[in-house]
Chain A
């Protein structure tokens, strides 16, 4: 099954323009025979919104998102937006639309507030990591910083996921010390490590373009459950990255490398519960 990543450059705070941009990328993904098109974090709004966050926020069932739902009749779509919850909290959200309706929403849990990041000032954190059924099997969504927390892909894998979607707005930085971009090296290491040691597909969808002088570096990639790089997009340039996802490979790899079968989430649970002073009875 083919999956497409839309390595695009959303306009900051311009939702109508971004909806139109999504329409174009969805068309390209459909033409490439993909079953899913994955957009980066906050693809419908842009990332560094600051006070604009409240201006572009909408409920997950807001009619403004209807064009995405409508387009998902032919191809599954996962895209990012600012969600205003029923109790008026703002969240960085990633929706998954399929068959014309919204099937799942993940709210970013880990909101970075260090270095150039200030998510925690403008957004409230999500509270859960839930798997859901995607066109390429059971999946979980880790938005940007979520993926940097080891527990997140672990929880998805323990929850039965074969695929981790990782929409991101990763800024390129760290050009000194003679090497590749510092961020690119870190992200690639994470993607491969999680994929290989949790025997899942990692679908890293990063954006490109600039916001207030900060460049998002792209380099989207799909890593297989054996740790191989199945496809990788260029850095800093828009690209529709198409890759094959084969759930048989997950099955084969889990026979060869049964780490997940032998994993003991019950022991993790017990250890954490004891640490937090919670009594666990059999």
Chain B
């Protein structure tokens, strides 16, 4: 008798995406039960998420609908006046495909009112305000018995490509441990509309913005590098030796370091014997007896 467990060597090369392959059926099952159990454990009954017309929120919408039933999911489409014209049609397509309710709540009036009279507002600052405006609406609409879902994927979380307390804010994030490349694979499996899958990823905060244009590299380039660096803990020198671009690697490592504050809770100054966040360490899922 033999033990039928074999592991092949994991290929490591810049263009080789095979290590990122996932078993979509298994991952879908894990994420659906994550959403169902972690929601119901809190006593909440509904889930709320921003539906932008992009692939990340489409995947989360699909998973949420499967977890709690589409009638318990509220999608919010929150356009600003510069939001791309096709985003609305794509968001509606996603909502229709997965049977969830979609409401449109424009944010132009409040964002413009806030910036009235302020000169030379940087577009990143503007984008951050819009992301936080959207999130404040999602939280408001989650009241009294819903939770807000996050849609940031692992690539975005590691690169810090998101707004703290804006799009990064949420109660539960089902896709934060999937790289963009893996999320696209899952999206195809879940039946996300083809038009949504095919369009270039964009935060859609200003006209013509694309993620890959702004980052300066493609998701596939970043994901395979991040997989070896983060998941497999390969040393940077070994990645360069395997043919990965040293400049790209340095850029990505610096982004990971510089943006780490976005991935942790705020710092609390320790002065007492026992401090929230430092040595008052209870699990979040602490249950009533």
Contacts and interface: CB of A to CB of B under 8 A. Distances in A.
Interface stretch (B13-21, B106-114, B258-266): B13-21
B212 interface: no
A52 B283 contact: yes
A14 interface: yes
B30 interface: yes
B33 A17 contact: no
Chain B, interface residues (CB within 8 Å), range: 20 to 34
Contacts of A189: 3, 5
A205 B18 CA distance: 33
Given A196-B1, A209-B37, A236 B280 contact: no
Contacts of B284: 212
B26 A51 contact: no
Interface stretch (A35-43, A102-110, A180-188): A180-188
A9 to B, nearest CB: 8
A277 interface: no
Chain A, interface residues (CB within 8 Å), range: 35 or more
B34 interface: yes
A12 B30 contact: no
Contacts of A13: 283, 286-287, 289
B66 to A, nearest CB: 14
A176 B21 CA distance: 6
A140 interface: no
A176 B287 contact: no
B10 interface: yes
A84 interface: no
For A46, A192, A210, which residue has the most chain B Cβ atoms within 10 angstroms?
A210
B23 interface: yes
A213 B38 contact: yes
A119 to B, nearest CB: 14
A89 interface: no
Contact of A46 (B172, B281, B287): B287
B29 interface: yes
B206 interface: no
B12 to A, nearest CB: 11
B33 A215 contact: yes
B227 A176 contact: yes
Contacts of B280: 51
A19 to B, nearest CB: 10
Contact of A210 (B21, B22, B27, B34): B34
A181 B5 CA distance: 12
Interface string A24-49: 00000000000000000000001011
A48 to B, nearest CB: 5
B171 to A, nearest CB: 11
B122 interface: no
B57 interface: no
Contacts of B283: 12-13, 48-50, 52, 211-212
A176 B177 CA distance: 11
A136 interface: no
B207 interface: no
A46 to B, nearest CB: 7
Contacts of B231: 176
B282 A14 contact: no
Contacts of B289: 11, 13-17
A12 B29 contact: no
A12 B38 CA distance: 12
B183 to A, nearest CB: 12
A167 interface: no
25 contacts: A11-B289, A13-B283, A13-B287, A13-B289, A17-B289, A46-B287, A48-B285, A52-B283, A176-B20, A176-B21, A177-B18, A177-B21, A178-B18, A178-B22, A178-B23, A181-B26, A185-B5, A210-B38, A210-B41, A210-B285, A211-B285, A212-B285, A215-B34, A226-B1, A236-B30
Interface of A: 11-17, 46, 48-52, 172, 175-181, 185, 188-189, 192-193, 196, 209-213, 215, 226-227, 235-236
Given A48-B283, A52-B282, A176-B21, 10 more contacts: A13-B289, A14-B287, A16-B289, A46-B287, A50-B281, A176-B19, A180-B26, A185-B5, A196-B1, A210-B37
